[in-house]
Structure 1
Amino acid sequence: MDNLILSEIENNVLTITLNRFDKKNALNTVMYQTLCETFNHAQTNASIHCVLIQGNEHCFCAGNDLADFLQHADSQEELAAFAFVKTLASFTKPIVAAVAGPAVGIGTTMLLHCDMVFSTADAKFKLPFSQLGLCPEAASSVLLPLRIGHNKAFELLVLGDLFTGQQAYNYGIVNAICLADELLLTAKKSAKYIASLPADATQTSRALMKQATQSQVLSAIEKEGAEFARLVKTDTCKKILASFFN
């Protein structure tokens, strides 16, 4: 279970690498807790000006580890995923992401909190919440409609249609499309350049850009969390999730 999340600081950039490739970087409780700790450290470390989150040139994140998720779903404690979402939404420094392969569920919704997203053209994005008997999370119920309009957001969030990195670029979710062997280097160069700019100016600019929606985002996370916690305990959701292990 060790080293599922790697982190490295260089040139004022904290690079976070999801490192569970045998499970397509599906996130479990330990990984969420480590991500929270790592982002909290970045928040308070003045030498970190930008965060880069990545997998490798073939895989970003296949969403929640369903076995781990089921194990903790009936707990009265807040799911670790929601603690991570709150940490991400409250983070005040620029975030860059590099996406290849699967970007499922939280693997897509976390990108809505990033400032620059680079992707391969054939990356596979999917938001299968309704198909699992669940609802959106990470304030995606607010952020995605704001980004691409209600109708297209409904198609992606409720119908759960798969879409590619190229489509994500067309929708404005992704900044640029890269070849697989250039993805990580391109994202790293972008993060390094952002980190080289005056930190106070970049963080102030970012905060100003988010001020109109920040309270709405935090409110949405709370409402989504309550509905998600309710839905995950329904017979419908339990049966759907259990079917993956039968």
Structure 2
Amino acid sequence: MDNLILSDLQNNVLTITLNRFDKKNALNTVMYQQLCQIFKQAQDDTEVHSVLIKGNEHCFCAGNDLADFIEHANDEQLAAFAFVNTIANFTKPIVAAVAGPAVGIGTTMLLHCDIVITATNAKLKLPFTQLGLCPEAASSVLLPLRVGHNRAFELLVLGNLFSGQQAADYGIANQCCQPEELLAIAEKQALTIAALPADATQTSRALMKQATAARVNQAIADEAKEFSRLVKTQTCQDILASFFN
């Protein structure tokens, strides 16, 4: 269970690497807790000017670890919700490098990033309703704002799979590139941000997010309430159990 999340600070860029490739970087409770701790430390560390979150050129994040999710489904607060609140209220620029699977939280976390680079092999999916659940991470607000209600309905309710190129076309990603170019491009973006005056970049980012900040935090709370209700329904329990039968 060690080293599931790696972090490294160089040239004012904190690189966070999801490192559970045998499970396609599916996030479990321990990983969410580690991510929260790393982001909170980065928030207070004046040496951190930007954050790069990545997997590798083949895999970003397959969403929640379903076995862990079922085990903790009745917890008063899911660790995933703590991570969502942490990344939503983080005040420094975040760059994401996305290849291969980006499922559930692997996609919704991108809505809180400032630069998103996808690879042509990226496969993004938001399968909430198929699991008997609802959107999280304020995606019910942020995705319609980004792509419009009709497209957001396709992605959030129908759960349509979409590619790295489509993510760029929809405005979810800044650009799409070849997998072998992904990490270098994302690192260059993070370094470019980190080289700028930190106060100016963080102030500019805060001003840009100011109009939606309260709405985002309210959406996170509303989604968490409905998510916690839905996960306890028989419909959701049966769907989740079917994955292990």
Report the TM range for the smaller structure's normalisation: over 0.9
Question: Unmatched 5+ residue regions in structure 2?
Answer: none
2:62·2:106 contact (CA, 8 Å) conserved in 1? yes
1:6 — aligned with what?
Answer: 6
Q: Report the TM-score when normalising by structure 2.
A: 0.99
Q: Report the TM-score when normalising by structure 1.
A: 0.99
Give the aligned residue type for 1:8. Answer: D
Give the aligned residue type for 1:35. Answer: L
1:178 CA drift (Å): 1.4
> Which residues of 2 match residues 105-120 of structure 1 at below 5 A?
105-120=104-119
2:210 — aligned with what?
Answer: 211
> How far apart in 2 are the matches of 1:116 and 1:15?
14
Give the aligned residue type for 1:65. Answer: D
Give the aligned residue type for 1:160. Answer: G
User: The residue matched to 1:213 in structure 2 has which SS?
Assistant: helix
1:91 — aligned with what?
Answer: 90
2:78 — aligned with what?
Answer: 79
1:66 CA drift (Å): 0.3
**% identical equivalent positions:** 74
1:122 CA drift (Å): 2.5
Q: Deviations over 1:82-101 (max 9, x none)?
A: 00000001000000000000
> How far apart in 1 are the matches of 2:184 and 2:69?
33
> How far apart in 2 are the matches of 1:182 and 1:171?
21
Give the aligned residue type for 1:32. Answer: Y
Q: Deviations over 1:84-125 (max 9, x none)?
A: 000001000000000000000000000000000001122100
> How far apart in 2 are the matches of 1:52 and 1:178?
17
2:136·2:223 contact (CA, 8 Å) conserved in 1? yes
1:41 — aligned with what?
Answer: 41
> Which residues of 2 match residues 1-246 of structure 1 at below 5 A?
1-75=1-75, 77-246=76-245
Q: Deviations over 1:26-62 (max 9, x none)?
A: 0000000000000000000000000000000000000
Greater Cα offset, 231-240 or 119-128: 119-128
Q: Deviations over 1:213-240 (max 9, x none)?
A: 0000000000000000000000000000
Give the aligned residue type for 1:45. Answer: D
> How far apart in 1 are the matches of 2:116 and 2:231?
30
2:117·2:186 contact (CA, 8 Å) conserved in 1? yes
Question: Unmatched 5+ residue regions in structure 1?
Answer: none
> How far apart in 2 are the matches of 1:171 and 1:121?
14
> How far apart in 2 are the matches of 1:93 and 1:79?
24
User: The residue matched to 1:51 in structure 2 has which SS?
Assistant: strand
> How far apart in 1 are the matches of 2:166 and 2:228?
31
Give the aligned residue type for 2:226. Answer: E
> How far apart in 2 are the matches of 1:130 and 1:159?
7
Give the aligned residue type for 2:239. Answer: I
RMSD (Å) for aligned C-alpha atoms = 0.4
User: The residue matched to 1:73 in structure 2 has which SS?
Assistant: coil
Which aligned runs of 4 or more in structure 1 are off by greater than 4 angstroms? none
2:121·2:179 contact (CA, 8 Å) conserved in 1? no
1:177 CA drift (Å): 1.1
